[in-house]
Amino acid sequence: MNFYNEMYDAKGGVRAHYKGYEDWLKATPPERIERKRAEADLAFHRVGITFAVYGEEAGKERLIPFDIIPRVIPSAEWKALQSGLRQRVKALNMFLWDVYHDQEILKAGVIPAEQVLNNAQYRPVMQGVDVPGQIYAHITGVDIVRAGEGEFYVLEDNLRVPSGVSYMLEDRKMMMRLFPELFAKHKVAPVQHYPDMLLEKLRAVAPNGVTDPTVVVLTPGAYNSAYFEHTFLAQQMGVELVEGRDLFVKDEVVYMRTTQGPQRVDVIYRRLDDDFMDPTVFREDSSLGIPGIIRAYQAGNVTLANAVGTGVADDKSIYPYVPDMIRFYLGEEPKLNNVPTYMCRKPDDLAYVLAHLPELVVKEVHGAGGYGMLVGPASTKEQIEHFRQLLIAKPDGYIAQPTLALSNCPTFVEEGIAPRHLDLRPFVLSSGQCVNMVPGGLTRVALTKGSLVVNSSQGGGTKDTWVLED
């Protein structure tokens, strides 16, 4: 397979937007680079920018490897991406409003109704609830990859509780601290205003009549894998970081327990899955949630960001229909590519998938985080056979896609600098008619040679992402 290299063209010449960096890399003594890389490691450890890995010793924290070769995106490419992202996220929010109100798109037969209404992520409690600004996905993390000759594809839309934005910010901070001279030479678009932008969006979706809303960040707690990010965002926005037990509901109003007595809460940026939000409505065994909060939400006394029930739009079984959503709601052609997807619930697709398993990527419809997937070309016969059985047993639980030739980028690894595959997750913020994002996003890189899985839980690292201004 041929891979698109972010830094070099097919003939081995350096691409124009990487010229400055490559010159610098060649001119900088390797000892200095080594020293700086060690310094970065130490700093990340000391500051405690870590994440917990599920399944490992409880409470164990690992560092996400940080690579000092940035991922550079030229201005024109970013502008095209940005306009495609705006279009896509706008349509997704319109879809969610529609699904939880008149369901025009189902009536029109664009998406099979049972695909939506029988989906476990469809939340009947949201039917008819008017969320402020008609926004469901206030924060969207869209996973984008580059493949083939360099064209971008959307791999998935994360509309529930996308994470990683703190790494985007910390990577930039680290890069500026280690190599200030690079920023003097390049016009790198700044990203550090993200928390400000987020706070502004959250305040904009406060319940009706609330002019000076109290915003909080809700975390599952210190053992959650993304806990660092929760504290980081709360601190950067200057709002309280709360756990479920800090909140309670009285007369359909949400309060937090403070040293000065109960204080009303208006907007909750929640980093807790729907299932755990309210034991009286969803999972009864959840001790992380707040009993009665869904009633308060339905009554319009508190805003949840993201809204409950967004999973019905980022589910892998709905993903193939996103281009149709864009045509249906906006009357436009999609600007970003979808990856061709085989829906195993369809007998023809299933037959094709079973016959081509070694060359496909198979994903669980409800899976996330790189767990429960098969990358055909990188798998053993046993793993493929295992998935074959899973597929036959439960075809509607899976989709399959061609294995994309993900682009790669030079990366520091043990044996020196070598190409590694990467993706990009821009964070798109929505409120009312306004859809914004900071330039770039989080670049994740698969550090294992040949690996196409970039998730940090699967050994992925990160890179600073530079959008160059003209």
Partner 1 sequence: MLSRTADHLFWMSRYIERAENLARLLDVTWQMSLVPQSEEAANQSWNAIIALNSLEEAFARKYATVNGENVLKFMVSDPDNLSSIHSCLRLARENAHAVRGTLTTEMWETLNATWLEAKEKSFEQLLGAGIGDYFEWVKMRSSLSRGTTLGTLLQDEAYHFIRLGTLLERADNTARILDVKYHVLRPHDDEGATDFYEWGALLRSVSAFEVYRKVYRDVITPDRVAELLILNKDMPRSLHFCLNSVIKNLELVANRQSGETARQAGLLHAQLHYGRIEDILAHGLHEWLTDFMDRIYLLGDGISKDFLVPMAEAA
Site residues, partner 1 (CB under 8 A): 45-48, 222, 231-232, 234-235, 240-243, 245-246, 248, 250, 255-262
Minimum distance of partner 1 from residue 238's CB (angstroms): 10
For partner 1, the closer CB: 296 or 353: 296
Edge-to-edge strands, sheet with 240-242: 240-242, 215-218, 267-270, 303-305
Minimum distance of partner 1 from residue 92's CB (angstroms): 31
Neighbours of 286 (CB within 10 A): 20
Minimum distance of partner 1 from residue 286's CB (angstroms): 17
For partner 1, the closer CB: 103 or 236: 236
CA distance 40 to 42: 5
**Phi and psi for 432 in degrees, rounded to 5?**
55, -130
Minimum distance of partner 1 from residue 180's CB (angstroms): 20
Minimum distance of partner 1 from residue 248's CB (angstroms): 6
For partner 1, the closer CB: 127 or 263: 263
Minimum distance of partner 1 from residue 123's CB (angstroms): 27
For partner 1, the closer CB: 35 or 257: 257
For partner 1, the closer CB: 232 or 297: 232
Q: What is the CA radius of gyration of the chain?
A: 22
For partner 1, the closer CB: 94 or 247: 247
CA distance 96 to 300: 17
Minimum distance of partner 1 from residue 167's CB (angstroms): 17
For partner 1, the closer CB: 241 or 467: 241
For partner 1, the closer CB: 231 or 280: 231
CA distance 4 to 261: 58
Minimum distance of partner 1 from residue 173's CB (angstroms): 12
